Amino acid sequence: MTPYQEEFIHFMVRSGVLTFGDFTTKSGRKTPYFVNTGNYKTGAQAARLGDYYAACVQEHMPDGIDALFGPAYKGIPLAVTTAASLFRNYNRDLPYCFNRKEAKDHGEGGSMVGYKPQAGDRIAIIEDVVTAGTAVRETIELFKSVADVQLKALFVSVDRMERGTRDCTTLDELREDYGIAVYPIVTIREIIEALHNKPVDGVIYIDDDMRARMEGYLAQYGPRA
């Protein structure tokens, strides 16, 4: 695990984004942990979040990207702060764009805001946490009516490493179905490794009992060998 990944895990805990307890996911699964990126709410958090995404982009794709795309709504600030951080920290000035939920029927019209993708552009999607992959699949369909681009990569904050509709994880489904590279900043396994019996600001969030619950959840909903 790289230093920025471990820092990111601590950052999520301190921001109240990564929490532990008893939760129910949108799919109805009972889970002992939850990642709610809607809890980021300050300028400092937004700037640091962009730095972690940018570090992940720079590590895995130091070149080969022409623009960033943030799916509405949570992906919009993620794409913006990632683009800003890439310029600030790596001198990469990538344009960004995002979609409207409803196409605009006045002015210049259309469903895209920001950079207008061109045929042949290599696009990286910036998302928060992918559960079923619905937003990503919608993005792929959206671009079919925008321009003949190459969707090269998907960057997400956390890979929950859960099954999708098949025996593999949702992210692996996207890799297999669309040939898109998928890069999480961290995986749930890395979160367990970083926090198990290791305090953050004096608090242990994953003790032996919580780790057993998380391992049980992954055994139930993780990919089948």
Dist. CA 116–CA 128, nearest whole Å: 23
74 counts as catalytic: no
**Phi-psi group of 16: left, alpha or beta (phi > 0 → left; psi -120 to 50 → alpha; rest → beta):** left
CA angle 40, 37, 75 (to 5 degrees): 100
Active site residue 104: yes
Cβ neighbours of 210 (radius 10 Å): 19
Residues facing residue 83 across a β-bridge? none
CA 199 to chain centroid, in Å, comes to: 25
Catalytic option among 26, 41, 101, 106: 106
Active site residues: 104, 106
